[in-house]
Amino acid sequence: MRPIYSEGHSSKMVEIPTSQPTRICLVRHGETEWNAERRIQGQIDIGLNDTGKRQAVAAGRWLRSAGIVALYSSDLKRAWTTAQSIGTELGLAPTPVPEMRERRYGVFEGLTYDEAKANHPDGYAAFEGRNAEYDFENGESLRAMFDRVTGKLKELAARHAGETIAIVLHGGVLDIINRFVRGNSLETPRDFLIPNAGINWIATVDGQWTLKTWGETDHLEPGALDELPA
C-alpha cells in the first residue's frame, strides 16, 4: 500500500494498493469417454465425447462477462478442444502451454484404476498413498509435476500482472495448483472436487496467492464427473 493525499485536504490520507490482483480462471477440460470409464489418460491424446463438447461451450458462455483478456491451454486434444470452444465464446484464440499437460502416468496409462491396482499393486499403493517421489516406472512424480506446473503458473501470472486470464488444463494439474495456492503438502488427501469443465478462480498479488472459488458447475448439466482418486 502507498499513501496519497487529496488535493486541498493535506491532512487526509487514502491508501491504495501497490498493485492490482491478477485473476486466473482454471477450467478442467470437458468429459471424455475415458473419464466415463475411469480409465487413466495421462498424456495419451484422447478427445472429448459429446457431453464434453457441450460442457466446453457452456463454460465459454458462462465466462463471457468475466473480463478475460488471454486464454491458455494444455496442448493435449481434450484440453485444446475445450479451449477452442471457450475461445469462440470469448473472442480469444488459445495459446498452447505444454507445461499444463496432465501428469505422465507411465505404466498406468490406458488402464482403468481397477486394472492398475490389480496389475501394479505396489505401484498403486504408492500412487494411492500420494508418494511424492513415485514415478510409475519412468512416468512422472508428483514432485516433478509440481515444479513444471507451478513454474508455468507463476510465469503466466507475471506476464499478465493485474489482468484476468483463463487456463484450460487437467484434473491432475488442478490438484497440484489447489495445493500450491492453499499451501498444502502434496501428500495431503484431496478434500476438494475436480469436475469435468468445472470453473475455478485463484488470484495473486504481491506474491501472495489466494483461492477464490473452486469446482463451480452451475453452468453445466447435472452429473459432471470427478472420477479422480482422492
- Tell me the pLDDT tens digit for each residue of 163-215: 999 999 999 999 999 999 999 999 999 999 999 999 999 999 999 999 999 99
Copy the grid coordinates of residue 182: 492453499
Asked whether residue 15 is domain-assigned, the answer is no
29 is catalytic: yes
With beta carbons less than 8 A apart as the criterion, state whether 190 and 121 touch. Answer: no
24 in any annotated domain: yes
What's the CATH number where 68 sits?
3.40.50.1240
What are the grid coordinates assigned to 147, written together? Answer: 515444479
CA 94 centroid distance within chain: 15
Reduced 3-state DSSP string for 52-65: HHHHHHHHHHHCCC
The one catalytic residue in 7, 9, 15, 29 is: 29
**What is the pTM for the complete model shown?**
0.89
pLDDT in tens, 22-61: 999 999 999 999 999 999 999 999 999 999 999 999 999 9
Q: Round to whole Å and give the CA distance between 102 and 14.
A: 46
Kindly name the residue from 99, 102, 140, 216 that is annotated as catalytic: 102
Contact of 26 with 97, CB cutoff 8 Å: no
Q: How many domains does the chain have?
A: 1
CA triple 111-174-195, angle to 5 deg: 70
Using alpha carbons only, how large is the chain's radius of gyration in Å? Answer: 19
Range of the domain at 92: 20-102+149-216
- Asked, for residue 141, whether it belongs to a domain, the answer is no
